[in-house]
Amino acid sequence: MDLYRKKIVVANWKMNLSLEEGEALVREIMQGTSGNLSCEVVVAPPFTHLTRLKEITDGSQVHIAAQNCHFEPSGAFTGEVSAMMLKSLGIDYVIVGHSERRHFFHETNEIVKLKVDAILAAGLKPIFCCGEPAEIRDTETQNIFVRMQLEESLFHLSEAALKNICIAYEPIWAIGTGLTASPEQVQEMHMYIRDQVVTRYNKIVGEEIRILYGGSIKPDNAKSLFTQEDVDGGLVGGSSLNGPGFIEVINAACG
């Protein structure tokens, strides 16, 4: 069985950078990643920057993702953007279920499920975020918590559909806090998630699905996380806003 999973590093810019700053940063990333890359690089800027950054990166090794979308294809949803609209820009991925969306915008597992379906229906690839808050980790019930997120938002999918998903494990207590989960904690959860996929689907799907880690990834801890057996890359927030630092993180995954 071919166990090769191409690593993927995703920059989550969140609500940061003007268009001008975003253009400059993406050019820096393109320059830093020219040559033969053994991993996939994705940048998720705010909606307003997507068209321009897609133009700039066309033909390069940098892919563009959106950070969110609505689950309806169109309609009276002021301020929202649909997966179909994102598809018409020619982008590849959409982040879905990020903990900040769950927390600040009250997205439930049910809403995340509808969004996953909409993203797939539009022909795009979801980067599905899951992960537990600190109080769940404190009671050592993180496995049950994450399993519920997988069951309620992902495991209704067919095997063929699930193959288009990247799972990002992002423990909430490690996001933007500077507190990184230890490589052992990360490996333990990634192995658990992969086991859940094997149990629900089969060994081949489990071996093929990419599971990324997110939460205070930095140039100095990236390598120790990315070398864990079940870690197939990262979703990077703060460190992705700095060109040289993000390129170091990419190199840690590609190396």
Active site residues: 98, 170
CB 3 → ligand PGA: shortest distance, Å? Answer: 26
Q: Which two tokens stand for residue 5?
A: 């999973």
Q: What residue ranges bind ligand PGA (CB under 6 A)?
A: 12, 170, 175-176, 214-217, 235-239
Comparison of 44 and 154: residue with beta carbon closer to ligand PGA: 44
Angstrom distance (rounded) from CA 95 to CA 72: 16
Least distance (Å) between residue 147 CB and ligand PGA? 21
Q: What is the closest distance, in whole angstroms, from the C-beta atom of residue 100 to ligand PGA in the complex? A: 7
Among the listed residues 116, 101, 121, the one whose alpha carbon sits nearest the alpha carbon of residue 15: 101
- The smaller minimum CB distance to ligand PGA, of residues 71 and 173, is found at 173
CB 167, min distance to ligand PGA, A: 13
Of the pair 123, 176, the CB lying nearest ligand PGA is at: 176
CB closest to ligand PGA, residue no: 237
Q: Which is nearer to ligand PGA, 33 or 216 (CB)?
A: 216
